Amino acid sequence: MSDPAHLTLLDKLAVWSSWGVAAALFYNLGWMALAPSDPLGAVSLFARGPGAPGWAILLQAAGLAAVTAAIAAVLSGRQLAYAGPFAAALGLGVVALRGESAEYLLLAATGSSESPGKAIAAKLALESVGWLFVILVALAVSGIVTRWCFGRPHDTQHERTPAPRTIDGPYFTLIATAASLFAFNILTTGLDRRAIQHGQVCFVVAASVWLGCFLAHRMVAVRSVLWSIFSVALLAVVGYLWAGARSPDPNLPPSVPTSHFLRVLPIQFIAVGAAAAIAAYWSMLRHRALSAADDETTEATRASEGRR
Q: Which domain holds residue 220?
A: 4-296
Domain membership of residue 110 (yes or no) is yes
> What is the number of alpha carbons within 13 Å of residue 278 lying toward its C-beta?
21
pTM exceeding 0.85: yes
Residues 6+ apart with CB under 8 A from 141: 65, 66, 69, 70, 73, 84
Q: How sure is the predictor about 153, in pLDDT bands with cuts at 50, 70 and 90? A: low
Domain membership of residue 285 (yes or no) is yes
Domain membership of residue 304 (yes or no) is no
d(CA 237, CA 122): 8
Q: What is the mean pLDDT of residues 162-187?
A: 87
Q: What is the pLDDT of residues 103-151, one digit of tens each?
A: 888 888 876 656 667 778 899 999 999 999 999 999 999 999 988 887 7
Domain membership of residue 305 (yes or no) is no
Give Cα separations from 140 to 24, 144, 147, 177 (angstroms): 22, 6, 11, 23
Residue type present at position 196: I
Number of domains in the chain: 1
d(CA 253, CA 257): 8
Is 258 within 8 Å of 122 (Cβ atoms)?
Answer: no
In which element (H, E) is residue 201 found?
Answer: helix 198-219
